[in-house]
Amino acid sequence: MPPSRRSTRSSQAGGKQATLSFHNRVTKSGAQPGKKDLISSTTPTKASPLSKQISRSEDEPVAEKQDPKVSVEEQEDGHEDAAAAAPVEQEQEPEAQSEAELRARDITDRQISAYWNRLERERTAKRVHQQDLSLAEKVLRYFDVSSQYGPCVGMSRMKRWQRADKLGLNPPPEVLAVLMKEEEKGTKGIEAAHMDQILNSTAVGAN
Amino acid sequence: MADLDNVPGNLLRKPSGKQEDELERAASTYKPLHSFRLAKEKSYQQQFADMYFLRLTKIRPAVEQIASEAWADTVIGGEEVKQVDRVLDIRQGELCWVVGTVYMEMALKPNIMEDVSKDRWISAPTSTNKYWSEEGDAVTLEDESGRIRLVGDALRSVFLVTGCIIAVMGTENANGELEVIDLKFPNLPPQPDRWAVSKPPGANGAAKTKTKDEDEEMTGTQTKGSGGKIAIVSGLGFSGSDASHAIELNLLLEYLLGEALDPSTQQELSQISRLIIAGNSISLDERKPEAEQQTEKKTNKKYGYDASSYNAQPSQLLDEFLATLLPTMPVTLLPGAQDPANSSYPQQPIHAAMFPGARAYTALPTSNDVGWFDNVTNPWEGEVDGWRVLGTGGQNLDDVFKYVDSEDRLGMMEAMCRWRCCAPTAPDTLWAYPFQDDDPFVMKACPHLYFVGCQPEFGTKVIVGPDAQSVRLITVPSFNATKEIVLVDSETLDVTRVKIAVS
């Protein structure tokens, strides 16, 4: 007699063995904004200095995450707490970054739009195809194509600004202000350059 | 037989009967700098354009300063020379100067675009000796805005490879090419003083504070350290199948241990304070002939590779060599092109797991100390006996060699120092990690000693810079071919070459 095929019959009958499911698949870039939302939702409760230290020490390789954490916590504690927290810092770099970020935080929306109008006045013709973009996105896209700060592909915008600052290229602080404001608002898609997102999207069905 | 006894250096003599003094090896002050270490979690998502941008941004200020000092008041043909910001801003008929990165278009250079387009018809890559050819080579200058071709006789007298940053003065001609009148290089970077990073050994072990005239003080009080030597060798080439230089390797070991030769020479040998192995310690075994492979029955492939074809003997031989040498002498090991380390520049240290015997002399992975056995990166920067040393395993010089029409390897090393970049052809033809935050190949500080290993022959030169920098350049020959090692005096940086021969 041929061996009984119990396995196939039971799966056909919908037996005890569970079928594989792909619903809880880990997404790639979608997961990160969710993580940021989690942080911003927990910070309204008063964070102890110890938690500041812990959250600053973790995620060290992920440099881009470091900056939004520092900025978000400092915002709710105010400048004087930030100065007190500075000795608590473990590395020197977040302290220096927070200085640039503090200065950028003082930049108001009016200054940002004044900066943008200055740039627009240098052009002889109006910009086309940018009508449905917010002012923030326009400022950031102009920063992306400014090649004196390096290529915009392959790097998040915040990291690129930090790198330009470290190399002494004097990137405009208004761009940093826009980046931080957009992160607080939780706008999706401003983290990486738009060109980067286009280039990295994989086309299914090619080849 | 009294005559034989009195001949110095003669081992053929009666036992003298008196107690010989024990020889002590000179101590070595050593501090490696981890400039080329990569993080354990490396991301390869980024593009290589960042590396060129970083290199240009870091070197541009220096070149601009030199160029503006040289050309500020130059008037040629009644026209003043102006600086332009971008390569594309050059106008025809206008005399101007610009800073950019050199890019060489060569027909014989492996081109990734051609490889990708010929995806299905690609044959095995033929390795040519030189990419340079008489015709079909174009030198172009590039920056963020664009590229312009350079022509002119001034280009013929200098070495140029892809990736070096230069300032060019000239004007655009009718063909849209830039006619070069003059070229300027960034020249040597500022050189740190001796003992900039590590502390010199004090007379009674007390570390003195750094003063301007410390060098004079130190040579007076140091009795053991003065006259110390650093031994550099490369291309040891331990192999499972090739035993042509096995005797010389053994003799080398005895020489370094101080077991060979007579007491007077051994006195000199005890001055060798450190051995630096500059690459290619293990040689690649030649492939088995094709026929033999086909007649073998299907081998068991576990984990995707055939474990039985791995020959552990070369690394075992190297391990034995190191374990015998390490008790008496500290060793610094740089990986080379044929060593079991990653193939892209900068090569990370060979893992200590390869050396079960010599592993005992390495430092603990979590501690900051440096053990007597130091696996380091290739290229490597460190401070040995106070001198800032930069060493590579040879891949950078071999790659630059392919670009230029010359056999002068020392001249190319000098050119690399003057370009302030120790691997300018990375990432074009020299595989490199895509750096995004910092380009470590840019020389921030001028080394006192720059050596390159695995070269076909020995050579040495001293070059001087505009700010009284002086660099000793050494090309270290491959031991398996030439049986030579190099000894560098650690006070004067003089170089001697020692040949181990069986006569």
Measured in angstroms, the CA of A129 and the nearest CA of chain B are apart by: 24
Q: Which of B68-72, B114-118, B429-433 has the lowest mean pLDDT?
A: B114-118
Residue B58 sits at the chain A interface (C-beta within 8 Å): yes
With a CB-CB cutoff of 8 Å, which residues 419-458 of chain B face chain A? 436-437
> How many helices, marked H, and strands, marked E, lie in chain B?
11, 22
A to B CB pairs, distance under 8 Å: 32
Q: With an 8 Å Cβ cutoff, are A150 and B57 in contact? A: yes
Q: Which of A46-55, A134-143, B79-88, B473-482 has the lowest mean pLDDT?
A: A46-55
Residue B50 sits at the chain A interface (C-beta within 8 Å): yes
Q: With an 8 Å Cβ cutoff, are A154 and B436 in contact? A: yes
Q: Which amino acid is at B495?
A: V
**Chain B CA closest to residue A160:** B437
The distance of Cα B400 from the centroid of its chain, to the nearest Å, equals 12
Q: Are strands B82-83 and B137-142 parallel, antiparallel or unpaired?
A: unpaired
The torsion angles phi and psi of B343, rounded to 5 degrees, stand at -90, -10
pLDDT score for B196: 83
**Nearest to B448, CA basis, from B485, B489, B408:** B489
Other Cβ atoms within 10 Å of B290 Cβ, number? 8
Of A61, A150, A153, the CB nearest to B39: A61
Measured in angstroms, the CA of B48 and the nearest CA of chain A are apart by: 10
pLDDT score for B446: 92
pLDDT over 90 percentage in chain B: 25
B234 vs B81, which has greater pLDDT?
B234
Computed over every residue of chain B, the mean pLDDT equals 82
Q: How confident is the model at residue B120 (pLDDT cuts 50, 70, 90)?
A: low
pLDDT at residue B233 tops 90: yes
Q: How confident is the model at residue B223 (pLDDT cuts 50, 70, 90)?
A: very low
- Residue B115 is encoded by which pair of tokens? 């490889």
3 state SS of B253: helix
Q: With an 8 Å Cβ cutoff, are B144 and A61 in contact? A: no
pLDDT at residue B443 tops 60: yes
Those residues of chain A that have pLDDT short of 50 are: 7-14, 29-91, 206-207
Interface test with A, best of B54, B85, B436, B438 (most A CBs within 10 A): B436
Q: How confident is the model at residue B123 (pLDDT cuts 50, 70, 90)?
A: low
pLDDT in tens, B142-154: 888 889 999 988 8
Q: How confident is the model at residue B226 (pLDDT cuts 50, 70, 90)?
A: low
Measured in angstroms, the CA of B459 and the nearest CA of chain A are apart by: 37
| Domains of chain B, each with CATH number or no CATH | 2-10+23-42+191-200+209-294+309-499 (3.60.21.50), 49-184 (2.40.50.430)
**Which residues in chain B have their CB less than 8 angstroms from residue A61's CB?**
39, 41
Residue B46 sits at the chain A interface (C-beta within 8 Å): yes
| ipTM for the whole complex | 0.77
Residue B117 sits at the chain A interface (C-beta within 8 Å): no
Q: Are strands B387-392 and B449-455 parallel, antiparallel or unpaired?
A: parallel
Residue A169 sits at the chain B interface (C-beta within 8 Å): yes
**Which residues in chain B have their CB less than 8 angstroms from residue A169's CB?**
57
The string of DSSP letters for chain A reads -PPP-HHHHHHHTT-SSPPP--TTPPPSTTHHHHHHHHHHHHTTSPPPHHHHHHHHHSS-S-HHHHHHHHHHHHHHHHHHHHHHHGGG-SSSHHHHHHHHHHHHHT--HHHHHHHHHHHHHH-SS---S-TTS-HHHHHHHHHHH-GGG---TTSBHHHHHHHHHHTT----HHHHHHHHHHHHHT-TT-SB-HHHHHHHPPPTT--
pLDDT score for B495: 92
pLDDT score for B121: 64
Phi-psi region at B198: left, alpha or beta (left = phi > 0; alpha = psi -120 to 50): beta
A102/A95 Cα distance (integer angstroms): 10
Q: How confident is the model at residue B208 (pLDDT cuts 50, 70, 90)?
A: very low
pLDDT score for B269: 83
pLDDT at residue B218 tops 50: no
Residue A194 sits at the chain B interface (C-beta within 8 Å): no
pLDDT score for B459: 92
**Which residues in chain A have their CB less than 8 angstroms from residue B439's CB?**
none
B169/B233 Cα distance (integer angstroms): 42
